Structure 1
């Protein structure tokens, strides 16, 4: 039984100068033009990275211990979604402080048993003034992985929308995104581990990468985004064709093979 009674990690602050290189590198991964001085929404995920020592990692590649990692045995982590509200954009050269705090926890029962939902809030400040707030929703299971995922479809989805961005994430793209975000979770680069230990149907496309691809649609259309929310619904696997779809009405999604909507998002 999951029990996190008494778990109340203290808030933490980290300060960083926003450099130009990470955004240029991500633009290369996405075959896009670099964004200029303003950091696009969610591209802050390239900054404020934790870089634990190798000895501090667990068998899944994630750190064994951490301020906002719940104290439950044999943790398995999933990215569930989040929200982001922007008052002022971050810019290259800015000195930005990120304040991290635990926003909420909730234990729920799912098909695979008990799950712990954790929301971590990141508040970004420039010169002491709040410029943006992000909340990340993460789901943790304790114990063995769920049953093996069914074999995925590789048929390209048929999508009609004002904005579309067809994609296929091969292992090279996943490796490069893992490197940019310093994400060592083995489900993104170790296929034997992803399928044999965690029960996935292949290498898993990063949830944050799918969210960024959703936001590429308004960015490439020249539409400013000040507020957004997104929810991961089902995994997308390496080599599966998928499409980021949406329009100026503010609705976005990731459409995967077999008529599956892998992520939904809204912006304003």
Structure 2
């Protein structure tokens, strides 16, 4: 049974300069031209990274303990979604302060047992002025992994939308994105752990990578995004063909094989 009584992490602040090198690296991963002078929405995930010592990692590759990590046994973490409001763009070369705090904790009951939803809010300040607010929704469960799922479909999805971006990942791309975001979660690079411990049929594509691909659609169409909300619904697995789909009316999604909508998003 999940019990977080007394767990009330206080706010934290960190100051960092938005150097161009991480953005250049992500542009290379996506096979696009480097951005500038403004950082595309969600690309702030390349900055303000936690870099724990190797000895502080758990069996899953995540830190065993952390300021915003709930103290529950056999903790397993899932990326659920988030929201972003940009009052002013984040620019390459900016020196920003990010103020982080727990915005909400909710205990729910799912098919696999108790689930703890934790929302962490990040407020970005430039010269003391608030320029962006981001909320990340993370889901934690305790105990044994879910029952292994069946083999995924690799049939390319048929999608009709004003904007489409077909994509397929491979282990190299997942490894590079893990390195860029300093994410050591083994479900993205260790197939034995992923299948035998976590119960997935194959390596899992990063939720943040899917969200960034969604946002490539309005970005490539020349639309400036000031508000964004997205929700991860189903995992996408390595080698599965999928399509980032959307339209100028503000709706985006990741469409995967077998008529699976893996992520939904809205923007303005």
TM-score normalised by structure 2 residue count: 0.99
Give 1:6 shift: 1.4
Find the counterpart in structure 1 of residue 28 from structure 2: 28
Distance in 1, Cα, partners of 2:36 & 2:177:
20
Give 1:174 shift: 0.2
Find the counterpart in structure 2 of residue 15 from structure 1: 15
Give 1:69 shift: 0.1
Give 1:33 shift: 1.1
Give 1:32 shift: 0.9
Give 1:65 shift: 0.4
Find the counterpart in structure 1 of residue 256 from structure 2: 256
Give 1:259 shift: 0.5
Secondary structure of 1:263's counterpart equals: strand
Secondary structure of 1:215's counterpart equals: helix
Q: Which runs of 5+ in 2 are unaligned?
A: none
Q: What whole-Å deviation, never above 9, does each CA across 1:91-111 have from its counterpart, x for those lacking one?
A: 111100000100010100000
Q: Which runs of 5+ in 1 are unaligned?
A: none
Find the counterpart in structure 2 of residue 65 from structure 1: 65
Find the counterpart in structure 2 of residue 245 from structure 1: 245
Find the counterpart in structure 2 of residue 54 from structure 1: 54
Find the counterpart in structure 2 of residue 37 from structure 1: 37
Secondary structure of 2:115's counterpart equals: strand
Q: What whole-Å deviation, never above 9, does each CA across 1:193-221 have from its counterpart, x for those lacking one?
A: 00110000100000000000000000000
Find the counterpart in structure 2 of residue 265 from structure 1: 265
Find the counterpart in structure 2 of residue 130 from structure 1: 130
Superposition pairs for residues 80-159 of structure 1, below 5 Å? Answer: 80-159=80-159
Secondary structure of 2:152's counterpart equals: coil
Secondary structure of 2:258's counterpart equals: helix
Distance in 1, Cα, partners of 2:224 & 2:72:
40
Q: What whole-Å deviation, never above 9, does each CA across 1:146-170 have from its counterpart, x for those lacking one?
A: 1001110001000000000000010
Distance in 2, Cα, partners of 1:178 & 1:89:
25
Find the counterpart in structure 2 of residue 232 from structure 1: 232
Please give the root-mean-square deviation of Cα atoms over the aligned residues, in Å: 0.4
Give 1:52 shift: 0.3
Give 1:5 shift: 1.5
Distance in 1, Cα, partners of 2:213 & 2:105:
28
Distance in 1, Cα, partners of 2:157 & 2:202:
19
Give 1:37 shift: 1.1
1:213 lines up with 2:220 in the alignment: no
Aligned residue pair count: 268
Distance in 1, Cα, partners of 2:168 & 2:190:
18
Give 1:240 shift: 0.3
Distance in 2, Cα, partners of 1:48 & 1:90:
13
Distance in 1, Cα, partners of 2:21 & 2:160:
35
Superposition pairs for residues 159-174 of structure 1, below 5 Å? Answer: 159-174=159-174
